[in-house]
Amino acid sequence: MKLALKIRLEVDEKVEEILDSQSKILNWTYNHLLESANTMRKDYKVSLSQELATTLYSERGLRDVVPGLKTIYPFLKTVYSSPLKNVALRLSQAIQEYQKGQKGKRKDKVKWPKFRSWKRKYFSLQYDEPWKGYSLEAKSLKLQLGVNAEGKRLSVIVRLVESFPIEQCRVKQLRIVKESGKFYAVFTIEKEVIEVEKENLLKPLCVRIIALDPNHKNLAYGVGTDLRAIEIDNLTKLKNIDERIDYLKSRRDRCVLDSKLVEYKREDGSIHKHYEPSRRYKHFDKLLQKAIVVRREQTKTYLYTIANKLCKEYEVIALGDYVPHGGGITTKMRRAMNNRSLIGRFKQIVEWVAIRSGRIYLEYEEKGTTRTCHKVDCSYVVDGGLAPDIRQWVCPKCQSFHIRDENAAQLSFLSTNSSNKFYTYNILI
């Protein structure tokens, strides 16, 4: 299993300019290779040349073009070889995904790659080999760059905001990214996951189990072996953040995008032209990106806090397999059910935290649990189901009073805690 560890970096203005220049060169290389790929694509449709097909559609075809570009454009030598070759590999992967979509080898079709704008999205520096091109001493991260005109190796040193918490031997690659004006080091860490299958895993009385029923009115409702029922509320601030994002998008989109013409002469004598947005556009776009980061970080912190608490209290966490499929009568309802629903991410995070903490994560089929009485000697099923606004109901057969979500969680708990079952779970080592 590959995991990502993201740590913020402390950089000064000089180092920021160097990293930005490296990213701009990579972005230029991507666009240059894409322009060449577009030309090869047109030529291949006419000539059906096998050489063009190998270069354009193979996994490493465009990668082999990069060394020749260094002789034509010497400024490419100022970038370390690993990030530079990964530009071509990323483009080749995008082209291969397009080909799979055209041939029906993937579920959804993707479009042909487009030219990238560095101002719209930062081009990350990817060192794809373990500790090659970068090194770490305490909190100091040294990044190797390319060579200058005299052939001297260039490098920069940045500082991690927090200590590196994992053994360095587990690191497989490093990416340097920039989000909302701040730099981050994203380490890819590889750990082994073992799948274990065992019968009657939940039979011992000492095992603490909780069954969670995911919903839209709340994030989830759970019933555990500790005789407690818990209701996990949705993130209340999410609606306010979305309204803030909508407001900033509206203000930004009313500003002039192509406000100022920038024109200068390149080294080869050609004229470069591009438009820059107005100052108001830049101002609102900066605020918008900050609001998006706030939304992402708040939802991430909220879900991880809940997952860690559950794994601390229970050995087995079971979640229903409900997946939102859209729908909704009004626009507000559809947005609340689709955009603000955290059920999918909640499942992924609980599963990952359970594996990391040595707990067991299970996913059960929850179809029909809401309208079925959880009493073992009853199991009455309401014809036609229960309307969404009915939060409490009385079973016509056994006259038991049920809270809608609690009844579904109890029925799911009985299914999870039943004996003579084989359970499969993962262990992280």
Task: Provide Rg for the chain, Cα atoms.
Answer: 27
Q: What is the pLDDT of residue 419?
A: 44
> Rounded to 5 degrees, what are φ and ψ at 144?
-80, 135
Confidence of residue 327 (pLDDT cuts 50, 70, 90): low
Which amino acid, one-letter code, is at 53?
A: A
pLDDT for res 197: 59
Q: List, for residues 220-237, the tens digit of each pLDDT value.
A: 888 888 888 888 998 888
One-character DSSP codes across 80-97 = -HHHHHHHHHHHHHHHHH
Task: Convert the pLDDT of each residue in 85-113 to its tens digit.
Answer: 999 999 999 999 999 988 888 888 889 99
The full set of domain ranges for the chain reads 2-190, 193-235+295-428, 242-285
201, pLDDT greater than 60:
no
Question: Residue range 325-342: average pLDDT?
Answer: 73
* pTM score, whole prediction: 0.70
On the question of pLDDT at 420 being above 50, the answer is no
- Predicted pLDDT at 407: 74
Contact 153, 140 (CB under 8 A): no
Would you call 156 exposed, middle or buried from its count of C-beta atoms within 10 A (0-12, 13-18, 19+)? middle
Q: Which of 251-260, 272-281, 322-331 has the lowest mean pLDDT?
A: 322-331
Judged against a pLDDT cut of 70, whether residue 186 lies above it is answered with yes
pLDDT at 425: 56
For residue 165, the 8-state DSSP code is: -
Is 40 in contact with 52 (CB distance < 8 Å)? yes
Q: What is the mean pLDDT of the chain?
A: 85
Condensed to tens digits (0 to 9), the pLDDT of residues 13-33 reads 999 999 999 999 999 999 999
CA distances from 106 to 96, 109, 323 (A): 11, 7, 21
CATH class name, domain 193-235+295-428: alpha beta
The pairing of strands 229-232 and 171-179 is unpaired
Q: Which residues pair with 178 in a beta bridge?
A: 183
Pairing mode, if any, of strands 209-214 and 316-320? Answer: parallel
- How far apart, in whole angstroms, are the C-alpha atoms of residue 113 and residue 417? 50
Q: Answer yes or no: is pLDDT of 78 > 50.
A: yes
pLDDT value of residue 318: 85
Report residue 156 as tokens.
Answer: 């920069």
Band the pLDDT of 418: cuts 50, 70, 90: low
Show the CA angle centred on residue 380, arms to residues 377 and 383, nearest 5°. Answer: 175
